[in-house]
Structure 1
Amino acid sequence: MNTRTDRFNDVHLHATSVHGWGQTYSQISAGAAQCALSQFSNARIHAFREHINQRVVQHGEAPRGQICFAVPLVVPGAARVQGRAADDKCIFVLQGGDEFMFHMPMHMDMLSITFEREAFERMMSGAPWPTGIDALLRQPVVQVPGHRLAESRRRLLALFNEVIAAPEQVFTPEAEQQVEQAMLGELMRLISDPACDRTQRHGSSSRSFIVEKCHRLTVSDAANAPSVVDLCKRLRVSRRTVQNSFQSVTETNPVYYIRSVRLNGVRRELMSTTPQQLSIGDAAAKWGFFHLSHFASEYQELFMELPSQTQRAVSAPPVRAAAATA
């Protein structure tokens, strides 16, 4: 079993370190980021625990050929998964290849477990799960009985911590399989509990739809980010509706949110290039910032550092020509 534990001071570094996931994290709340990530994996399972002290929006695609579960450990504020309200009385489910958007509140702590789809179906086929489980697994947010969730959360976390603390104990295929089956069994017992309503349907809210549409419009043409007035016209809704939607879903206003997403875009550009490849001014312009003094001030306010202080990519050393031989 491959294990790893990291701490980061940047949500972008955190996002790119989650094994097998194609995603971006954008920091929305202002302040120095403190992120913790522990994970273990083999060919059939990937489990990771993440904690981030800032409000973050996650956007990406779930790993293809997988089925992904997330068990929130602490949800201290408004959270939205695929447009559905989420709290610490539910689990999240994503099918491999699904595009997802997750609004994570400050100080959220979450355990995620991803199974290789074929292995998951093989493990599922050997047990007489109640009817309706398949339909329930297609719901991104599943409400589960509170007492059962507390028990399952405790056991899953104990299993996870055992592997992270002593990976040498899981060094045989048989030991790895025991961990996989124990985690899958815990999740399936949870959602097959008679008290779990397998007919539940939680639709995406109109407010979440507005926020997610605005987010996508912002990143689709980064250099010409739409204003709030433009967004209202495109969505055919009032400014008040847009304001209320952002306050409900993101706990901030649309101007601040959109600017934060764009500032995160600049930060990713800077961290993935060298100064020789891309100047700060050109990176800012790619995301619609053309007044560098205002940009630098807003960047510092969000990330607690100036753009010039952001760590850039390291240039590869020049390749030396081999010495000629007689």
Structure 2
Amino acid sequence: MKNLNISHFHDIHVHAATVQEWSQDYNQLTAGSAESSLIQLTTPRCHVFREQINQRVVQHGVAPRGKMCFAVPITVPGTIRMQGREVDDSSLFFLHGGEEFMFHMPMGMELLAITFERELFEQALAQTASAKEIGQLLRQPVIRLPTQRYAGARRRMLAAFSQALLSEELDNAQDREMALEQTMLAELLQLMTDPACDKHQRAPSSTRSYIVEKCHRLATAQSNNVPSVDELCQRLQVSRRTVQNSFRSVTETTPVNYLRSVRLNGVRRTLMSTPATHLSIGDAAAQWGFFHLSHFAAEYQALFAELPSQTTRAAIGGCALA
């Protein structure tokens, strides 16, 4: 029987923790209350989910091991960066199981993600006439597809997903699970075998994306000893102007605002994963480099539309993110 889960959230961290099998953090970058939806359907060999988030978010994590992971943009309301590549609605995202990823998601974006058991996908791939070419294509995280062909495939995949949701309670669930798996496999493989799909395309990560991602990692590696922008410039051996322009281009904000937001998200996850009796708000803030409690509280409220004292804390022996 399929595992169906339809959820609506007011917190992106709870949303991220609810996505089955994915080990990842979502960091909210734009100010205001978060509103998101997540529809998940799991069959024995495939996990499909559709998500939409009203805020700008950067996702960072590791793809599920032993899987082949695809994502199809549904709505693209702004600049997207996947693994350092600028992408649009003609792009298919791909990750190998166990691969680390960073994905910059604009406000209001919606996507459909399909994760196959590796064995299932490789068996289907072996039956195509272009197995070797597609294997080469899958060495990169962003694949450009023929726009009109992709639009048709997107409609059919969404229709198949919607039909599977409506059919959840019907008796022949096993047949419908297999039909969903085969539809998703067939559509994706047909897109990549299409003669109009360039099998030799290569899209390297941009220098600006590299700078942003490197700063992100450096700023979170030692959360209580956060480097300044000038220190990051020295570490990367680039000018402050270069760093400023990189963040403006990739994240649509300044490096100071971006890195502060990432750290505030870190505090929020810490608060939600620890009981109030085990860790004070001040100590949680200090763990992420915030030592001025009143300034921290104001910045936290500005980003999340609530004071840190209003954030749901974990119960004893539990976690608000569970």
* Short-chain TM bin: over 0.9
Report the secondary structure of 2:169's partner residue: helix
Residues 67-106 of structure 1: CA distance to partner in whole angstroms, max 9, x if unpaired? 0000000111111000000111111010001000000011
1:116-155 alignment, distance < 5 Å: 116-129=117-130, 131-155=132-156
Report the secondary structure of 1:198's partner residue: coil
Shift of 1:281: 0.5
Aligned: 1:237 with 2:241: no
Shift of 1:163: 1.5
- After TM superposition, the score normalised by the length of structure 1 is 0.95
Report the secondary structure of 1:288's partner residue: coil
The letter of the residue matching 2:306 is E
* Counterpart for residue 104 of structure 2: 103
Of all paired residues, the percent bearing the same amino acid is: 58
Residues 88-127 of structure 1: CA distance to partner in whole angstroms, max 9, x if unpaired? 1111010001000000011000000000001111222233
Aligned length: 317
Residue 2 to residue 170, structure 1, CA distance change in 2 (3 Å): farther
Residues 142-199 of structure 1: CA distance to partner in whole angstroms, max 9, x if unpaired? 1101100110000000011112233123744333112101110011111111111010
Taking only aligned residues, the RMSD between alpha carbons, in angstroms, comes to 1.2
The letter of the residue matching 1:257 is Y
User: Are the aligned partners of 1:222 and 1:288 in contact in 2 as well (CA < 8 Å)?
Assistant: yes
| Alignment partners' CA distance in 2, 1:287 and 1:170 | 51
| Alignment partners' CA distance in 1, 2:237 and 2:165 | 50
| Alignment partners' CA distance in 2, 1:108 and 1:175 | 28
Shift of 1:220: 0.3
* Structure 1: gaps (5+ residues): 318-326
* Structure 2: gaps (5+ residues): none
* Counterpart for residue 173 of structure 1: 174
The letter of the residue matching 2:129 is P
| Alignment partners' CA distance in 2, 1:171 and 1:295 | 55
Residue 316 to residue 137, structure 1, CA distance change in 2 (3 Å): closer
| Alignment partners' CA distance in 2, 1:235 and 1:26 | 23
User: Are the aligned partners of 2:47 and 2:115 in contact in 1 as well (CA < 8 Å)?
Assistant: yes
Residues 14-70 of structure 1: CA distance to partner in whole angstroms, max 9, x if unpaired? 000000000000000111100100010123100000000000000000000000000
Shift of 1:139: 1.4
Aligned: 1:59 with 2:60: yes
User: Are the aligned partners of 1:4 and 1:164 in contact in 2 as well (CA < 8 Å)?
Assistant: no
User: Are the aligned partners of 1:67 and 1:93 in contact in 2 as well (CA < 8 Å)?
Assistant: yes
* Counterpart for residue 249 of structure 1: 250
The letter of the residue matching 2:79 is A
- After TM superposition, the score normalised by the length of structure 2 is 0.96
Shift of 1:130: 5.8
Residue 291 to residue 171, structure 1, CA distance change in 2 (3 Å): farther
Moved more, 224-233 or 160-169: 160-169
Aligned: 1:80 with 2:81: yes
* Counterpart for residue 310 of structure 1: 311
* Counterpart for residue 7 of structure 1: 8
The letter of the residue matching 2:127 is G
* Counterpart for residue 213 of structure 1: 214
Residues 192-215 of structure 1: CA distance to partner in whole angstroms, max 9, x if unpaired? 111110100000000000000000
Moved more, 34-43 or 254-263: 34-43
Aligned: 1:272 with 2:282: no
User: Are the aligned partners of 1:38 and 1:164 in contact in 2 as well (CA < 8 Å)?
Assistant: no
* Counterpart for residue 44 of structure 2: 43
* Counterpart for residue 199 of structure 2: 198
Moved more, 242-251 or 35-44: 35-44
| Alignment partners' CA distance in 1, 2:56 and 2:29 | 5
| Alignment partners' CA distance in 2, 1:204 and 1:225 | 25
The letter of the residue matching 1:80 is R
User: Are the aligned partners of 1:163 and 1:170 in contact in 2 as well (CA < 8 Å)?
Assistant: no
* Counterpart for residue 20 of structure 1: 21
| Alignment partners' CA distance in 1, 2:239 and 2:172 | 59
Report the secondary structure of 1:71's partner residue: strand
* Counterpart for residue 93 of structure 1: 94
| Alignment partners' CA distance in 2, 1:79 and 1:163 | 29
| Alignment partners' CA distance in 2, 1:182 and 1:191 | 14
Shift of 1:277: 1.2
The letter of the residue matching 2:140 is Q
| Alignment partners' CA distance in 1, 2:195 and 2:207 | 31
Residues 252-274 of structure 1: CA distance to partner in whole angstroms, max 9, x if unpaired? 00000000000000000001111
Shift of 1:131: 4.5
